[in-house]
A and B are shown apart, each in its own frame.
Chain A
Amino acid sequence: MTTLLILAILILVAVAIWQMTKIFELSQVKTDRQQIANDGDNRNNGYLLFAFLIFIYGITIFSFWKYGKFLLPVAGSEHGAEYDSLLLVSFIIIFIVQTLTQALLHYFGYKYRGEKGKRALFYADNDKLEFIWTIIPVIVLAGLILWGLYTWTAIMDVNDEDDPLMVELYAQQFNWTARYGGADNVLGGANVRMIDIDKANVMGLDEADTYASDDIIVKELHLPVGRKVNFKMRSQDVLHSAYMPHFRAQMNCVPGMITEFSFTPIYTTEEMRENPEVIDKVNRTNVIRAERSLTGDEQLDLWEFDYILLCNKICGKSHYNMQMKIIVESEEDYDEWMKNQKTFAETVLKDEAAPAFNTIKGVSLVE
């Protein structure tokens, strides 16, 4: 069916093109066989340039009207508000410049379309004009740079103030694992060389490290609202990127390195679900999913909003489906959930035989 539709469109387009060529041809004086623009061409294309300006404005307005609501909802993190205002201001500046320059460009194209006998103005230089349009971008950009750098420094300053929760995000083809520091809130040492699948030590934690024994490894990330979280990212195989769009947060996961990001979630998942924008989006989406379930052969579940962690660095075949759910909840709910999680010491399988010699204890390969 779709194939048919595409074919139909292509045929129609071909016909349209053929007709357009005809129109162009008919609008030209018969004797003029030159392949150089004449007055008629200049007139037609001048008008078309003007029409094109309207098209650009049109598609801009159309996109905002139709797709504006698809943009990400309110930021779920403390720094997100600052991010969003910087983004908004940048966009306002961009739209002003875009509207004006496109107008000038296309309007001049229309206004000064060529005619036989018309004279162009020999106008090669004007230092004053050039100075003006050099200095204006300089000032505007200086402002944006300063604001941007100030925000950037604040966001990227990962520190231990305010008792942050320590969480490791561990990436592998094609899933995420998270690890909490446990009761001591310290992540134990780990390295891929210590991975022991047979003993269920899949993240390569140092079994001899006491900091590691109380670590908690999970497949669904729970975060208490209002508490700063310091993320340490690791990857075991290829590059991945931990992308949490609702928190305006992203950092690559690099094998052989530990990368960091830090943010404070400010809305619980429940609060986000009650946000009017989010309610609208969920409703729209569920209508689509219901329709698809009716027409298609697969049954789609209805969707409920959740924060999500995506992989945003090409990592192989299932890159498009590498995700982990994030749940932001109240401190009490979080503690309650945490109580039911097993520590690393409880999940890892112990060696039967006791070591015959002393092991080096407490060496952290991570820190």
Chain B
Amino acid sequence: MSVLTAHTDNHAHEEHEHHHKETFITKYIFSQDHKMIAKQYLITGLIMGFIGIAMSLLFRMQLAWPGQSFPIFEAVLGKWAPDGVMDADIYLALVTIHGTIMVFFVLTAGLSGTFSNLLIPLQIGARDMASGFLNMVSYWLFFVSSVIMVGSLFVEAGPAAAGWTIYPPLSALPMAQPGSGLGMTLWLVSMAIFIASSLIGSLNYIVTVINLRTKGMSMTRLPLTIWAFFVTAIIGVISFPVLLAAALLLIMDRSFGTSFFLSDIFIQGEVLHYQGGSPVLYEHLFWFLGHPEVYIVLLPALGITSEVMSTNSRKPIFGYRAMVASILAIAFLSTIVWGHHMFISGMNPFLGSVFTFTTLLIAIPSAVKSFNYITTLWKGNLQLNPAMLFSIGLVSTFITGGLTGIILGDSTLDINVHDTYFVVAHFHLVMGISALYGLFAGVYHWFPIMFEGKMLNKNLGYVHFWVTAICAYGVFFPMHFVGMAGVPRRYYQNTAFPMFDELTDIQVLMTVFAIIAGAAQLIFVANFMYSIFYGKVGPVNPWKSNTLEWTTPQKHVHGNWPGAIPEVHRWAYDYSKVDEQGEYILPHQDFVPQNVPLQLDEEELNH
């Protein structure tokens, strides 16, 4: 069947090229081409990332030098920083929007959106996504939600400030804090649109992977990137609707007087009418998405790492089947561990036991993945390109951050570190930094595919990586100690407790590292923008990779391949494969692309 579609597609495509001239608008703005949509996702995501990271630098400065006046605060925050001293409400708003932007807009849309769009059709050998139109709608919904989220920063009473988890009643009652007025309404509207975007995107990815694989591309020959994107999309489809429900119910509670999440509230001198709802219900609904969300962020990064690491090690990924099984196991378990965010929420302690059990189980596939990455490096011929360094960095932070999950996932130990800086350090390393490294690895590796053969400058890439890697540990390693000393997160300043006085030194250290790390990202921005326009065009297959995207011409064509879609004859990881005489399968070449048929007497040694 796929042969047939390939051929008819091919025909339709050629005619299409002859008849239509694409206008600027159909090519760059309302494009239905997955490659363009991927670039749109990436650039929107990077802009959101810039905002999110800039916010974190502002509140880190407040934490290191509490109550000090900075001209930059006055310049950026205006009335919320009278005389350059940050206001406590805007501190909470910054923390909230930083979390929201980084988790959803950068690491969900910017990472998964970019690379799912770019790589799914290219690596499975399809002309485009199953529905180019829905793909375009998905991006534009994401764009609208980004605009609304950024717009909410300019609301009179300030943006949402109840933490990125927006637990009611704080988020539901405008009298509880200024950010819970119009700012929160916009937050909810923005997220509702974001979820619609994410769902449309995910459904498209799933359908494309299932239906549009080229001839010979069986599921067990899929590159691990595609497995990761595929499974990520499935988790998204399962869990995002629950967040949509939670958001809608919260909108009901806020605007239409229902009591889903509210009960027995006395605030500002009056009793509210709400009766019978439960904030714990909201927590359940939120984390039913919220925890899978962690893996929605992380799995694409791990998928990218698998591909980049194998290519640059010149070795097959170790344990392909175990990697796929781990992805599936993580995906399954991720939907039944949400309660570990709620051990001390007041839910039944027995449930806490169950969630401890499932949570610690998830450490097993994660451990398998880490060991497989390390073994992939063993006896390789490592080409230490920037993308490879970011992949190694990812494994490093994934291990460091993941290990402390053993503490947090244990309901007993969670009691005293819950909601402290220990948690902040843990999740920033394991999902924040790791996923960002995955994003960077992907950008450095697939930049030539996105920008018609142009390559990012490697030296700037090296500097970017090393400064970022050192600073990331510099910020988040000492942070564990702040948490272990009992400092709660989301405190505007820690001066109200003398027991935290001596921790100010650590705060200063972390902030300095954070500022340097922020500055290092500017190197990336400069490299990225310069290379889009003036980057040097490299070889067609610069990393000597096996996957199908490198068989496309550098100049983008609608439909990806000018001729027939290549047929796949092997898995994606035949690097350094040798025959019985110890010679490479293809002479003088240590890799065998997926579209090369099995050679005479060659065994298909994949797994």
The residues of A with any CB-CB pair to B shorter than 8 Å are: 2-3, 6, 9-10, 13-14, 17, 20-21, 24-25, 28, 33-37, 41-42, 44-46, 48-49, 52, 55-56, 59-60, 63, 67-68, 70-72, 83, 86-87, 90-91, 93-94, 97-98, 101-102, 104-106, 108-109, 112-115, 118-126, 129-130, 133-134, 137-138, 141, 144-145, 148-149, 151-153, 155-157, 172-173, 191-193, 195, 197, 204, 233, 236-239, 241, 243, 245-246, 248-252, 254-257, 259, 281, 284-285, 288-289, 300, 303, 305, 308, 310-321, 323
Say if the beta carbon of B80 comes within 8 Å of chain A: no
| A6-B515, A83-B413, A114-B381 known; A156+B349 contact, CB < 8 A | yes
Q: A105-B396, A192-B265 known; 8 other A-B pairs, CB under 8 Å?
A: A55-B473, A70-B485, A121-B315, A148-B411, A149-B412, A312-B418, A319-B492, A320-B490
Contacts of B415 in A (CB 8 A): 83, 155, 248-250
Contacts of B317 in A (CB 8 A): 124
Contacts of A97 in B (CB 8 A): 399, 403
CB pair A41 B481 closer than 8 Å = no
The residues of B with any CB-CB pair to A shorter than 8 Å are: 65, 68, 70-71, 88-89, 92, 162-163, 167-170, 173, 176-177, 262-267, 269, 271, 276-280, 313-322, 344-346, 349, 352-353, 356-357, 360-361, 363-364, 367-368, 370-375, 377-385, 388-389, 392, 395-396, 399-400, 403-404, 406-407, 410-413, 415-416, 418-420, 455-460, 462-463, 466-467, 469-470, 473-474, 477-478, 480-482, 484-486, 488, 490-494, 496-499, 501-504, 506, 512, 515-516, 519-520, 523, 535-536, 538, 542-543, 573, 575-578, 590, 605-607
Contacts of B457 in A (CB 8 A): 35
Across the A-B interface, give the 9 residue pairs with the lowest CB-CB distance, nearest first.
Answer: A256-B263, A245-B486, A156-B349, A303-B498, A259-B346, A45-B384, A320-B491, A35-B455, A192-B266
Taken together as a complex, chains A and B put the C-alpha atoms of A219 and B520 apart, in Å, by 49
CB pair A112 B382 closer than 8 Å = yes
Contacts of B406 in A (CB 8 A): 90, 93-94, 141, 144
CB pair A250 B344 closer than 8 Å = yes
CB pair A10 B403 closer than 8 Å = no
Contacts of B384 in A (CB 8 A): 37, 41-42, 45-46, 49, 109, 113-114
Min distance, Cβ B124 to any Cβ of chain A, angstroms? 21
CB pair B271 A321 closer than 8 Å = no
Min distance, Cβ A78 to any Cβ of chain B, angstroms? 14
Contacts of B538 in A (CB 8 A): 34-36
A-B contact pairs, 15 of them (CB 8 A): A28-B459, A37-B458, A56-B473, A63-B478, A72-B484, A109-B377, A109-B392, A114-B383, A130-B372, A133-B371, A141-B406, A237-B169, A256-B279, A257-B279, A310-B488
Taken together as a complex, chains A and B put the C-alpha atoms of A173 and B268 apart, in Å, by 9
Contacts of B280 in A (CB 8 A): 254, 257
Taken together as a complex, chains A and B put the C-alpha atoms of A303 and B128 apart, in Å, by 67
Min distance, Cβ A149 to any Cβ of chain B, angstroms? 5
| A2-B65, A124-B318, A257-B280 known; A285+B498 contact, CB < 8 A | yes
Taken together as a complex, chains A and B put the C-alpha atoms of A42 and B486 apart, in Å, by 43
Most central of B406, B498, B576 by chain A CB within 10 Å: B498
CB pair B318 A123 closer than 8 Å = yes
CB pair B279 A122 closer than 8 Å = no
Contacts of B462 in A (CB 8 A): 20, 24, 41, 44-45
Contacts of A251 in B (CB 8 A): 344, 346
CB pair B493 A320 closer than 8 Å = yes
Taken together as a complex, chains A and B put the C-alpha atoms of A302 and B599 apart, in Å, by 81
Min distance, Cβ A127 to any Cβ of chain B, angstroms? 9
Contacts of A37 in B (CB 8 A): 383-385, 388, 458
Taken together as a complex, chains A and B put the C-alpha atoms of A156 and B350 apart, in Å, by 9
Taken together as a complex, chains A and B put the C-alpha atoms of A300 and B473 apart, in Å, by 33
Residue on B nearest A82 in the bound complex, by CB: B412
Min distance, Cβ B447 to any Cβ of chain A, angstroms? 9
Min distance, Cβ A82 to any Cβ of chain B, angstroms? 8
Residue on A nearest B165 in the bound complex, by CB: A314
Min distance, Cβ A345 to any Cβ of chain B, angstroms? 22
Residue on B nearest A18 in the bound complex, by CB: B463
CB pair A106 B396 closer than 8 Å = yes
CB pair B349 A256 closer than 8 Å = no
CB pair B345 A101 closer than 8 Å = no
CB pair A21 B377 closer than 8 Å = no
CB pair B382 A24 closer than 8 Å = no
Min distance, Cβ B483 to any Cβ of chain A, angstroms? 10
CB pair B578 A122 closer than 8 Å = yes
CB pair B389 A102 closer than 8 Å = no
Min distance, Cβ B395 to any Cβ of chain A, angstroms? 6
Contacts of B520 in A (CB 8 A): 17
CB pair B379 A123 closer than 8 Å = yes
Min distance, Cβ B394 to any Cβ of chain A, angstroms? 10
CB pair B488 A63 closer than 8 Å = no
| A94-B406, A255-B263 known; A118+B381 contact, CB < 8 A | yes
Taken together as a complex, chains A and B put the C-alpha atoms of A68 and B503 apart, in Å, by 11
Min distance, Cβ A91 to any Cβ of chain B, angstroms? 8
Taken together as a complex, chains A and B put the C-alpha atoms of A34 and B173 apart, in Å, by 58
Taken together as a complex, chains A and B put the C-alpha atoms of A197 and B270 apart, in Å, by 10
Taken together as a complex, chains A and B put the C-alpha atoms of A318 and B512 apart, in Å, by 26
Taken together as a complex, chains A and B put the C-alpha atoms of A314 and B473 apart, in Å, by 26
CB pair B364 A138 closer than 8 Å = yes
Taken together as a complex, chains A and B put the C-alpha atoms of A147 and B405 apart, in Å, by 16
CB pair B271 A125 closer than 8 Å = no
CB pair A252 B344 closer than 8 Å = yes
In-complex Cβ contact of B346 among A101, A243, A246, A254 (8 A): A254
Most central of B317, B363, B382, B542 by chain A CB within 10 Å: B382
CB pair B314 A114 closer than 8 Å = yes
| A83-B413, A90-B413 known; A173+B176 contact, CB < 8 A | yes
Taken together as a complex, chains A and B put the C-alpha atoms of A249 and B352 apart, in Å, by 15
Contacts of A236 in B (CB 8 A): 264-267
Contacts of B456 in A (CB 8 A): 35
CB pair A125 B477 closer than 8 Å = no
Taken together as a complex, chains A and B put the C-alpha atoms of A145 and B456 apart, in Å, by 47
Contacts of A112 in B (CB 8 A): 313, 377-382
CB pair B412 A86 closer than 8 Å = yes
CB pair B469 A52 closer than 8 Å = yes
Contacts of B404 in A (CB 8 A): 94
Taken together as a complex, chains A and B put the C-alpha atoms of A297 and B313 apart, in Å, by 59
Min distance, Cβ A245 to any Cβ of chain B, angstroms? 4
CB pair A308 B497 closer than 8 Å = yes
CB pair A10 B515 closer than 8 Å = yes
CB pair B576 A148 closer than 8 Å = no
Residue on A nearest B420 in the bound complex, by CB: A312
Contacts of A243 in B (CB 8 A): 419, 486, 488
CB pair B263 A288 closer than 8 Å = no
Contacts of B403 in A (CB 8 A): 94, 97-98
Contacts of A124 in B (CB 8 A): 316-320, 573, 605-607
CB pair B315 A152 closer than 8 Å = no
